[in-house]
Amino acid sequence: MSNSSNIIGNKWEDLPNEILEIIAKHLQSRIDVFRFRAISTSWRSIVPLSYRQTQSSLTLPPPFTATAVLSPVTICRLEHYSGGTAVLMKVVESISGELQLLNPLSTKTFKGNSSVCRTINLVDFRLIELHRGSRLIFDSIPTNFYVKKVVLFYDFGILALFDLGGLSLLSFWGFGDEEWTNLGNEGDCYDDVMSYNNQFYVINNLGIVYWIDKCRNLVQYSPPLCGFGHLKNLVVSEGQFYVVDSYMEEDAARMQAAMFEELGVRGRCRTVDMKVYKLDEEWGTWVDVKSLEDRVFVLGKEVCVSVSVKDFPGCQGNCIYFVDASDTKTEFQTLGETVKRFVGRVFRFDNGSVRAVECLPAYKKFSPHMNWPLAISSSRDNIAV
């Protein structure tokens, strides 16, 4: 068995430079460069570590009125070549080209001291890409809106969900356009947008899924959802569309503020229950899902994913990981410095409970540093963790 593996490995290493150069031209992201360079010494000689696709600065028109970079986000399975434990990670790229491995629920990159950061080497680890998404990196934080999600639209523009004046709008901006174009019907509010098989879908607050064609028309793809939750997320699992309908309640601060009309006090909502529905495309109906069985849904800011516990030994299925707006970060001390530890939440289908978690399962088993951001490397190229 090992002999056959060595033969296959040698065949990859023996590919002529002309073929490797063709492959190199199709590397789409920084993470592709690291994975390419991890194959062998000959592959590393073709593509320098400094090689990266250009990230153009975008001058966004009102209501954004800001400069930003559209940066790739990759959801991966990280596992050691020797086998054993695997973990789900989010790979993000900074404007300068640095890569970090993060908890897939994390919303912020790490700007810590090098004494806190750890690195992994892709010669020892396998990084398997599962999903791709995008994020906007702003040069300064806008104050008049909140960007919920962005999706690269056929390489000539972006779709964005953002809150403006209490409304959750779906808008399109073509690269170089002087203004945003609001999509859909006036007054409609949208909860989630996603790309799947190079097609684009959005769901509104009534649970209607729309397909977005190349002319940015919204074509109804599903009937309304008979669910009364406050937030709906789209997830594709094993080729089928699911909706996670989250039920929320306002925290005590907001309720008290409303009671005493304290306009300066802002509260946040927390999730108290979840329902899941699967779209039966043949009959055009929503089916109430009672169990996810061996699946785990992860509702990230950039990408919502579904994974099987079979690919992540030691993880428990039939649950949903997510982040509430009310979530906070606890602190612990290490190496004389304060490091923020990420806190998310998990909903369990078997008992309907919602509880806080420090990190996703198997992180600590995989490495004691898995609560922290990770960096990546290939051979002598290191990535921060």
pLDDT digits (tens, 9 = 90+) for 270-328: 899 999 999 999 999 999 999 999 999 999 999 999 999 998 887 889 999 998 876 65
184 in any annotated domain:
yes
Q: What is the mean pLDDT of residues 169-174?
A: 94
| Structural domain containing residue 309 | 57-377
385 in any annotated domain:
no
- pLDDT top residue among 32 and 214: 214
278 and 370, same domain (yes or no): yes
35 and 132, same domain (yes or no): no
129 and 35, same domain (yes or no): no
25 and 159, same domain (yes or no): no
117 in any annotated domain:
yes
118 and 28, same domain (yes or no): no
Helices (H), 2-103: 2-13, 17-24, 30-37, 41-46
4 in any annotated domain:
no
Give the chain's domain count.
Answer: 2
pLDDT tens profile 194-228:
999 999 999 999 999 999 999 999 999 999 998 78
Q: Is residue 201 within 8 Å of 194, Cβ to Cβ?
A: yes
138 and 246, same domain (yes or no): yes
Residue with tokens 């040069």: 139
Q: In angstroms, rounded to a whole number, what is the distance separating the alpha carbons of residues 190 and 184? A: 9
DSSP state of 62: T
150 in any annotated domain:
yes
308 and 164, same domain (yes or no): yes
Nearest to 116 by CA among 356, 332, 353: 332
32 and 73, same domain (yes or no): no
**Residue 364's pLDDT is what?**
53
288 in any annotated domain:
yes
Per the rule left: phi > 0, alpha: psi between -120 and 50, beta: everything else, 324 is beta
Q: In angstroms, rounded to a whole number, what is the distance separating the alpha carbons of residues 196 and 183? A: 19
20 and 87, same domain (yes or no): no
How sure is the predictor about 63, in pLDDT bands with cuts at 50, 70 and 90?
confident
pLDDT tens profile 36-51:
777 777 887 788 766 5
135 and 250, same domain (yes or no): yes
152 and 99, same domain (yes or no): yes
382 in any annotated domain:
no
125 and 86, same domain (yes or no): yes
**Residue 111's pLDDT is what?**
54
Residue 384, classified by CB atoms within 10 Å of its CB into exposed (0-12), middle (13-18) or buried (19+), is buried
Per mean pLDDT, which range of 53-57, 88-92, 104-108 is the poorest? 53-57
- pLDDT top residue among 37 and 335: 37
Distances (CA, A) of 25 to 21, 42, 47: 6, 16, 10
Q: In angstroms, rounded to a whole number, what is the distance separating the alpha carbons of residues 7 and 3? A: 6
